[in-house]
Every structure is written in structure tokens, then in C-alpha cells.
């Protein structure tokens, strides 16, 4: 117990990797362990594209704004929410899938996330480092084209996995009082908890070994949610068969 | 490594629990370990409601169609996608949050799912059993009312945790060939893989210790995606501030 909890608590994103590629059997072990996570009604709406083509990785790195770990990690996986498979399965038994429902979008997105996080725990247990890459959604159409994703499939996030070539600090999280509530949603403890966390993060950002900066969590979040983020997502998803009805 | 992978591979949902409630420190340890999972831009868009009020648990169980583990598990947690906190944080520093973006909805839903799956691994490492409860989305407005969720918060799923009072079989997953692809999305191996899996699941359903039935995965999936699922979700979410722009 102690060992697993310690591993989980010590997660941090790794952005610098040793150059050796992960062998196929390691990738297979990681993804198969991811598959064992819970899945809504056993739908298993997850497909993983293991991107080995260097040019494809370069082009995906460009989509992410040049995040170098997309090309340098031992492996790069794109985790896709996949309702195309259920579509085919439904047709194969003479049925027809109802598509475009918001609920299906939630189910598929959650399915992928649970499987990926299980895979991450498996990878980290092997001493590997990981980094989720949400920025593939900067241009999901280009990623879809590169990976030849069919309708009813969208790339939720990328995942770098490899042998770490850095050992960054663990980033502190919000005090539990802000996140765990009893019976009803209350905000009474939040102001204090967030003020405490702002100080914690100011200290963390000012003293960490790389990429030091002077900011608070509140200022970061205000910047983050104060502008339109990836406003193309709705139209992209609608064109791919996720109409959000 | 071996031990962690074995634990992850042996996950199965537990629906029968010993009656003792989980103590608060155990719930806190599990949720705090969940918090250590990756989160998009450190947004931490997760809030967990630990539901201890027996009447609330009864009413939520009714929403799920009477799933008894909602009332009998040692603890019942509702995992919420929370953009209300970032809204408040943004205002506290004089900013204004842009809300209703589809991208924010994805970020928050993924954040919650990664944190919950980390929490699940932590709980299972303690010998506890778990069961995700997606069926709280049968009536998310009632759940929101019971838990007094504010705007920009939605309950993604429930989670039962407790001491198992059953030891069900592990449910087989799709062959890896159907789920893990190299460089591009292909379907060529899927027909065989799904046919194999249909036989595997037929054997599993016909021989498992409880709730035996005669069906294939394909037939199950066709039923599942062949009808409208939770068609209220879009309107519910729009009313709660997730307009999916």
C-alpha cells in the first residue's frame, strides 16, 4: 500500500527523456493494463494510436506549439475517444447507432481518461516518466488527418512515455479542504485554502530547479479561464460526428 | 512493478459491501492521492462531495434506478467537474471567466476522470473495492439539487468505495489488436478481434458466478448505442453553464 500511494503522490510530468525508444512489448503491457480500468457498460470506447513515424511526431509537435517531448519521448501515444468501433459493431448485427448525443461524448471521454490514467500508473510503476499533451487539441483536425481517424473518433490527448532525463519537483495541489466537501457544495473554507495555496505556489514557482517565475495560482487561473480556449473545438467535434445533441 | 500491474489488471467493480462505513481519514487519503494525478494547466477542476447523509444516498440510489451499492458501500463520493472555483478565483483578482466553451468542458471532464482513477488505484491498493456510478446522470438536476451544486459544476459520476463482500471474476477486455494501432487508425484486424471477443464474453457471461446470461459483446453494444441515451444531458448542461460553445 505504502509503495503504491507514494508512487501516486510523487507524480510529476516529465518533459526531458533519454533517447532510447520504448520497445513494443513495453507499450503493449502499458496499454493492456490501461484497458483493465473501469469502462461504462463495457463499451471500451478507447483506441490508442502508437505514433512511431518521426515525421508524424514532428508534425504533431508543431500542432502543440513545439513541445519537444512529443518527438523525444521513448513513445508517443494518442488516446482517442472511439465510437466508430461501436458503430461498426452495431451495423454488424443489423442495428443502427444513434450518434451525436452529448451523453455518448461524456461516456467516451471518461472511458479514455480512466484507461489512460491506469496506463500512466502502470508506466510509472516501471520507472518511466509521462507527460499528457492536451495541446494536440490546438488543431485536432490536423491530428485526425495525420492519424487517419474516421468519423466518430476524436483525439482526446497525447501521452509521452519514456525514461526520465530530469527529476523535477512534485507540484503542490490545492489544500484538500477546497476539493473535498461533505454532503453539500460549500465555499466557506475556499478563500483561506486558496490564499494558502497561492503562497505555496509562489514559493514553489520561485524556488523550483527549472523555469522559475513569480506568479500565484489565482493569477495563473485567471489568465487561463479569462480568454477563449480552443474555440474551434465545437465545430471540429460536430464535423466529426460529435454534434452534442 | 509486478504487484502494481497485477492489482491494476485485476480490477472489477464491487457491488456488495461489508456494512462498516469508511472513516474520514481513509476517504481523505484516497481523495488526496487522487489529487496528485495530472491536471490540465494545473486547473484542478475537480470537487468531490462525500455523501454521508443516508437520505441523500437513498435519493441518489433512486436516481440510479435503485443500485443498492450507492447506499450500502462504506463511502459514496460524487466526482464533480468544477469550473465554479476558477470563476471565483478569476473574479477575486479582478478578471472575468469566459464560460460555456466546449474545450473547458473537455478539460474539466478529463481532470475529474484522471483524479478519480488515481483515487481508485489508491483505494484498491488498500484492499477496498470500488464501483463507478455513471447512472447519477440519469437525473443530474436532482443530484445537483441534493448536493447544492452551483453553476459551472456538474456531477460526472458517483464512486462507491468499501470493503468487498463479494469476489467477482475479472471481466475480459477486447483483444489489444482492436484497441492499439500503429501510426494510423486501421480496422483490418478488428473483425477477427471482435469475433474472438464475442466468444470470450459469451463464455464469460455463461459461466460467471452471478448474473449469468446468454449474449455477445456485439449484441450488448448494439443495444447500448442503438437508442438515445440520457437525451436530457445537453439541456441540463446548458442550464448549468456548460453551453458547449
Euclidean distance between CA atoms B11 and A37, whole angstroms: 7
Q: How many helices (H) and strands (E) does chain B have?
A: 11, 5
> For B42, which of A97, A220, A227 is closest by C-beta distance?
A220
Contact B229 A101 (CB under 8 A): yes
Give the C-alpha distances (Å, rounded to integers) separating B152 from A21, A231, A242, B45, B46.
Answer: 42, 18, 22, 10, 12
Flag whether pLDDT at A209 surpasses 90. no
Chain A to chain B, count of Cβ pairs less than 8 Å apart? 349
Flag whether pLDDT at A85 surpasses 80. yes
Flag whether pLDDT at A1 surpasses 80. no
Chain B positions in Cβ-Cβ contact with residue A56 (cut-off 8 Å): 183
Nearest CA in chain B to A9: B36
Cα pseudo-dihedral A98, B197, A49, B155, rounded to 10: 50
Nearest CA in chain B to A188: B85
What does DSSP assign to residue B95? -
Axis-axis angle for helices A84-92, B217-225 (nearest 10):
110
Helix (H), strand (E) at residue B161: strand B153-162
Euclidean distance between CA atoms A157 and A84, whole angstroms: 18
Nearest CA in chain B to A109: B110
Contact B37 A118 (CB under 8 A): no
pLDDT tens-digit readout, A29-72: 999 999 999 999 999 999 999 999 999 999 999 999 999 999 99
Among A50, A158, A154, A34, residue whose Cα is nearest residue A106: A154
Nearest-Å Rg of the Cα atoms of chain A is: 20
Euclidean distance between CA atoms B187 and B175, whole angstroms: 13
pLDDT tens-digit readout, B116-136: 999 999 999 999 999 999 999
| Closest Cα in chain A, distance from residue B20 (Å) | 18
Average pLDDT over every residue of A104-127: 98
What does DSSP assign to residue A81? E
Chain B positions in Cβ-Cβ contact with residue A80 (cut-off 8 Å): 185
| Closest Cα in chain B, distance from residue A62 (Å) | 17
Model-level ipTM above the cut of 0.95? yes
Predicted local distance difference test score (pLDDT) of residue B186: 98
B84 falls in which pLDDT band (50, 70, 90)?
Answer: very high
Chain A positions in Cβ-Cβ contact with residue B185 (cut-off 8 Å): 47, 49, 80, 147-150, 153
Residues A236/A140, Cβ–Cβ less than 8 Å: yes
> Do the bridges between strand A180-182 and strand B46-50 make them parallel or antiparallel, or are there none, so unpaired?
parallel
Euclidean distance between CA atoms A204 and A168, whole angstroms: 11
Nearest CA in chain A to B105: A106
pLDDT tens-digit readout, A92-109: 999 999 999 999 999 999
Cα pseudo-dihedral A207, A13, A237, B186, rounded to 10: 160
| Closest Cα in chain A, distance from residue B87 (Å) | 8
Flag whether pLDDT at B1 surpasses 90. no
State the number of CA atoms in the 13 A half-sphere of B238 facing the CB: 11
Predicted local distance difference test score (pLDDT) of residue B81: 98
Nearest CA in chain A to B37: A11
> For A4, which of B121, B130, B229 is closest by C-beta distance?
B121
Residues B168/B208, Cβ–Cβ less than 8 Å: yes
Contacts of B88 (CB under 8 A, 6+ apart): A187, A190
A119 falls in which pLDDT band (50, 70, 90)?
Answer: very high
pLDDT tens-digit readout, B169-199: 999 999 999 999 999 999 999 999 999 999 9
Residues A100/A245, Cβ–Cβ less than 8 Å: yes
Count CB-CB contacts under 10 A for residue A6: 10
Amino acid at each position: 500500500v505504502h509503495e503504491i500511494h507514494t508512487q501516486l503522490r510523487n507524480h510529476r510530468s516529465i518533459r526531458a527523456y533519454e533517447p532510447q525508444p520504448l520497445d513494443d512489448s513495453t507499450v503493449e503491457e502499458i496499454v493492456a493494463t490501461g484497458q483493465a480500468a473501469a469502462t461504462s457498460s463495457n463499451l471500451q470506447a478507447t483506441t490508442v494510436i502508437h505514433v512511431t513515424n518521426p515525421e508524424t511526431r514532428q508534425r504533431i509537435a508543431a500542432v502543440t506549439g513545439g513541445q519537444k517531448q512529443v518527438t523525444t519521448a521513448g513513445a508517443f501515444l494518442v488516446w482517442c475517444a472511439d465510437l466508430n468501433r461501436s458503430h461498426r459493431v452495431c451495423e454488424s448485427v443489423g442495428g443502427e447507432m444513434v450518434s451525436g448525443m452529448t451523453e455518448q461524448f461524456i461516456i467516451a471521454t471518461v472511458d479514455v481518461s480512466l484507461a489512460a490514467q491506469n496506463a500512466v500508473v502502470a508506466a510509472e510503476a516501471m520507472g518511466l516518466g509521462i507527460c499528457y499533451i492536451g495541446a494536440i487539441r490546438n488543431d485536432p483536425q490536423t491530428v485526425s488527418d495525420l492519424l487517419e481517424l474516421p468519423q466518430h473518433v476524436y483525439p482526446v490527448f497525447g501521452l509521452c512515455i519514456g525514461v526520465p532525463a530530469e527529476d523535477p519537483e512534485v507540484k503542490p495541489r490545492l489544500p484538500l479542504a477546497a476539493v473535498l466537501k461533505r454532503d453539500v457544495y460549500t465555499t466557506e473554507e475556499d478563500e483561506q485554502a486558496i490564499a494558502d495555496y497561492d503562497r505555496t505556489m509562489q514559493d514553489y514557482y520561485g524556488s523550483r530547479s527549472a523555469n522559475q517565475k513569480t506568479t500565484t495560482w489565482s493569477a495563473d487561473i485567471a489568465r487561463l479561464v479569462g480568454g477563449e480556449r480552443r474555440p474551434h473545438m465545437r465545430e471540429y467535434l460536430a464535423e466529426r460526428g460529435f454534434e452534442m445533441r
